[in-house]
């Protein structure tokens, strides 16, 4: 497989690989810096990134802003010449503030999903920071490209396509996740590429496309590139890297997982999500309403009285290594991971 550097405007990643953003506290400065140093694009997740800050319970906005800037600085210190990005969920209550903090800290690119980032071009106006929406369907790609074209007279610098095998929040219904096969979704990816090509021609600009979801091996990457994409996005595989910011018990849960341990759950975000079965998931599946701490203002649309569990509480628990009561998001192929590796070793196993 021939490796061609990923060019996003004036940004160059020698390895056409984007490390997917994983919150809370899983993909921070250490992992992102290591991936950027190895030649890929390292990505920090902004979701409740300030959970370790002393004022997180009293001033979540300031805590997240401070922590995000700190983690970007850490990643750039590890990889001064690398490409460092931030994944920011549209569903976040303080989405705008996260974007402004990322731009202010010098993030090279913002990747945004869990909803369509309709206002992202306005929020980064005048900045060098590149922007990339995450889409999962031809319809979503068409909507965001048409809207940005009409409202802002611009197109994305990159588009990330996340397929049904991805981890965390998924842009599909639970039924689609369980029924979509690779051949069917290949047609969807090719359709997205056609839509992107239309706008690339209109603006006389290359719009690279990355594909993520289930990328575990060299064979997975080859298959993705054969569809015509310019890069792959890999997330779950990096959790069992030595450089990953996750607690060691989180990594051990991944290494011990079987295929049967992977479940689709309904997240308080309002989207289905893929995670590992544990005591928490069994309680959720049984219909239990799990008590939670006072609201941490994470989601724009959340009524604490109606949610089955608090996503901040459970993701923070996971980040701290409380694997039985934490939400352990994962990709469909998590069970294939068998050992701790370094970031360069993982990249070498995906690219020759």
Average pLDDT over residues 94-112: 97
In this prediction, residue 302 carries a pLDDT of 66
163 lies in a domain? yes
What is the total residue count of the chain?
352
86 lies in a domain? yes
Let me know whether 232 and 118 are in one domain: yes
Let me know whether 151 and 231 are in one domain: yes
In this prediction, residue 300 carries a pLDDT of 62
Going by C-alpha positions, the residue among 293, 277, 280, 274 that lies closest to residue 331 is: 274
What's the rounded Cα separation, in Å, for the pair 160 and 133?
Answer: 6
The answer on pLDDT for 98 being more than 90 is yes
20 lies in a domain? yes
What's the rounded Cα separation, in Å, for the pair 59 and 80?
Answer: 31
Domain that holds residue 313: 248-336
90 lies in a domain? yes
Let me know whether 86 and 177 are in one domain: yes
What's the rounded Cα separation, in Å, for the pair 67 and 349?
Answer: 32
Let me know whether 228 and 326 are in one domain: no
In this prediction, residue 262 carries a pLDDT of 94
Let me know whether 88 and 16 are in one domain: yes
Tokens matching residue 125? 């106006």
Let me know whether 10 and 111 are in one domain: yes
Torsion of CA 65, 68, 69, 70, to 10 degrees: 120
Tokens matching residue 66? 């401070």
Q: Is 178 exposed, middle or buried (0-12, 13-18, 19+ CB in 10 A)?
A: exposed
The answer on pLDDT for 241 being more than 70 is yes
1 lies in a domain? no
Tokens matching residue 225? 């590139």
Question: Burial letters for 275-294: b for 16+ Cβ neighbours within 10 Å, e otherwise?
Answer: bbbbebbeebeeeeeeebee
Average pLDDT over residues 227-246: 97
SS3 for 231? strand
277 lies in a domain? yes
Let me know whether 183 and 91 are in one domain: yes
Let me know whether 160 and 301 are in one domain: no
Contacts 24+ apart (CB under 8 A), 148-153: 148/121, 149/199, 149/202, 151/118, 151/121, 152/121, 152/122
What is the chain's alpha carbon radius of gyration, rounded to the nearest angstrom? 19
Average pLDDT over residues 226-231: 96
The answer on pLDDT for 174 being more than 80 is no
What's the rounded Cα separation, in Å, for the pair 141 and 134?
Answer: 8
* Residue 237, domain CATH: 3.20.20.70
For 145-198, the DSSP string reads HHHHHHHHS---S-EEEE-TT-SEE-SS-HHHHHH--HHHHHHHHHHHHHHHHH
* pTM of structure: 0.94
pLDDT tens, residue by residue, 4-48: 999 999 999 999 999 999 989 999 999 999 999 999 999 999 999
- Which residues touch 86 (CB under 8 Å, ≥6 apart)? 21, 43, 44, 45, 46, 68, 72, 98, 102, 107, 109, 110, 111
Let me know whether 220 and 267 are in one domain: no
Let me know whether 74 and 216 are in one domain: yes
pLDDT tens, residue by residue, 297-318: 776 666 766 777 888 889 999 9
55 lies in a domain? yes
pLDDT tens, residue by residue, 124-156: 999 999 999 999 999 999 999 999 999 999 999
Tokens matching residue 244? 């990953």
44 lies in a domain? yes
Contact 98, 46 (CB under 8 A): yes
Number of domains in the chain: 2
The answer on pLDDT for 329 being more than 80 is yes
What's the rounded Cα separation, in Å, for the pair 257 and 237?
Answer: 13
For 106-137, the DSSP string reads T-SEEEEESS--TTHHHHTTT-S-EEEEEE-S
Let me know whether 346 and 299 are in one domain: no
Which residue is associated with the tokens 């595989």?
237
Let me know whether 112 and 190 are in one domain: yes
What's the rounded Cα separation, in Å, for the pair 126 and 314?
Answer: 37
Q: Where are the beta strands (DSSP E) in 189-340?
A: 209-212, 231-234, 262-266, 272-276
């Amino acid at each position: 497989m021939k490796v061609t550097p990923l060019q996003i405007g004036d940004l160059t990643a020698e390895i056409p690989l984007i490390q997917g953003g994983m919150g809370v506290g899983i993909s921070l400065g250490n992992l992102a810096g290591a991936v950027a140093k190895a030649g890929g694009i390292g990505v920090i997740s902004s979701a409740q990134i300030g959970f370790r800050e002393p004022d997180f319970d009293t001033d979540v906005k300031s805590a997240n802003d401070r922590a995000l800037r700190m983690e970007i600085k850490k990643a750039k210190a590890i990889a001064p010449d690398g490409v460092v990005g931030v994944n920011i969920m549209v569903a976040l209550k303080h989405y705008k503030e996260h974007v402004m903090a990322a731009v202010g800290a010098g993030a090279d690119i913002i990747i945004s999903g869990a909803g369509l980032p309709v206002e992202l071009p306005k929020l980064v106006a005048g900045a060098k920071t590149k922007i990339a929406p995450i889409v999962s369907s031809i319809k979503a790609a068409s909507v965001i490209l048409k809207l940005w074209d009409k409202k802002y007279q611009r197109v994305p610098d990159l588009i990330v396509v996340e397929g049904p095998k991805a981890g965390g929040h998924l842009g599909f219904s639970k039924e689609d996740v369980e029924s979509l096969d690779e051949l069917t979704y290949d047609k969807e990816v090719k359709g997205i590429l056609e839509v992107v090509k239309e706008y690339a021609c209109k603006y006389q600009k290359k719009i690279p496309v990355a594909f993520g979801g289930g990328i575990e091996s060299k064979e997975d990457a080859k298959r993705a590139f054969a569809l015509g994409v310019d890069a792959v996005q890999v997330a779950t595989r990096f959790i069992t890297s030595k450089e990953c910011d996750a607690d060691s018990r989180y990594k051990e849960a991944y290494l011990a997982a079987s295929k049967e341990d992977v479940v689709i759950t309904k997240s308080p975000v309002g989207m289905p999500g893929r995670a590992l079965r544990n005591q928490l998931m069994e309680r959720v599946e049984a219909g239990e309403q799990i008590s939670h701490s006072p609201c941490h203002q994470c989601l724009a649309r959340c009524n604490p009285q109606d949610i089955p569990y608090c996503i901040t509480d459970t993701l923070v628990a996971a980040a701290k290594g409380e694997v039985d009561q934490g939400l352990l998001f994962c990709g469909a192929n998590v069970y294939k991971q068998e050992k701790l590796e370094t970031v360069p070793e993982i990249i070498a196993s995906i690219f020759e």
